[in-house]
Amino acid sequence: MAKSNLYQTKTTTNIIPVMEVGNMPLLSYCIDEFLEFKRAQRLSRWTLLDYETVLRRFNREIGDFDIDHIERKTIAHYLASLDLSKKRVKNIYTALSSLWTWAVEMGYCTVHIIRQIKPPKPEKRPILPFTRDQIMNMLASTDASKEYTRPGKRACRNRLKTGVRDRAIILLLLDTGIRASELCGIKVKDIKPHGIYIHGKGSKDRLVPISETTRSALCDYIGEQKDIEKYVFKTEQGNVLSRDALRLIIRRIGDRAGVNDAHPHRFRHTFAINFLRNGGDVFTLQAILGHETLDMVRRYLAIAQTDINGVHQRASPVKVWGL
């Protein structure tokens, strides 16, 4: 009996082919169905895009086989061949594991082979917050280009059209500690009188408070926008701001301001550490950041606690008075 087209080429219609008894579907078919399953869960567009990017690349690299015939060594070799950070490889491992979990539940796989591979342990990178001076320099660099000179002319700078938007981005990141994808996903309707609704990981929404300074900067940028379904942050071409575009904006502002290694997630570190330094508690910080556990918050607390210990050593009367 001939196999159905499901096992030869990727189907080009919306009709799900009928599988013959004893056969398992191709990897490409499983990926299509898995992504549809995830879309039905109403995951964020960024999470869906990550899943699709990771799984399509995996499919291209190893080829299209019956998913139940893919061997453990094939996946281990693929993960080992990736020239990426340990954290990124761990994310890819997690996406593959999620696919196999679904496939086993659907009866497309008999064994969850990803669980037979030890997940990579991402390195703990040092947490380096921005200083106050760095933030001030970056805010001052949102309105104008780098200073430059032309032959026979005095030094000058160009006014940037994106200054109002970029100031609002910096203040919002610093004031809330939200992730890059969360900022890109904000719509006009999400801005409320007492904060902003943030659409976080795993479709978990939370209301994050903002200061009046940040609210004012947002209002200056949004203006009289009436369409509440529109995304707040756009590129100069009017497209919805992506995470990559946001990273590029922050990096360019950092270059103009003389701040090395400027990226959106560094604002998250800066917010968290200063929140604790200034008297905030770990449970409120956990809620604002959208962390499911206190693990990352404890890292911030350790850094803030080190600062406290250092200040105590310099300021304690017993130390200062030489008692």
The pLDDT of residue 279: 86
Contact 21, 3 (CB under 8 A): no
**CA 74/CA 64 separation, integer angstroms:** 12
Contact status, residue 267 vs residue 254, Cβ threshold 8 Å: no
Q: Which tokens belong to 279?
A: 């008297």
Q: How many residues does the chain have?
A: 323
Percent of the chain whose predicted confidence (pLDDT) is above 90: 57
Report which residue type is found at 181: S
pLDDT in tens, 54-78: 999 999 999 999 999 999 999 999 9
Q: Rounded CA gap, 159 and 140, in Å?
A: 12
Q: Is the pLDDT of residue 303 over 90?
A: no
Q: Does residue 10 register a pLDDT over 50?
A: no
Distance (Å, whole) CA 206 – CA 201: 10
Rounded mean pLDDT of 315-323? 64
| DSSP-based three-state secondary structure for 268 | helix
**Average pLDDT, integer, range 204-221:** 92
Q: Which pair of tokens denotes residue 116?
A: 């037979």
Strand partners, 159: 144
Residue ranges and CATH numbers for the domains of the chain are 21-116 (1.10.150.130), 132-271 (1.10.443.10)
pLDDT digits (tens, 9 = 90+) for 133-152: 999 999 999 988 776 666 76
pTM of the model: 0.70
Can you tell me the distance from the alpha carbon of 213 to that of 225, in angstroms, rounded to the nearest whole number?
Answer: 19
CB 67 within 8 A of CB 74: no
| Residue-level pLDDT at 22 | 46
pLDDT at 11: 38
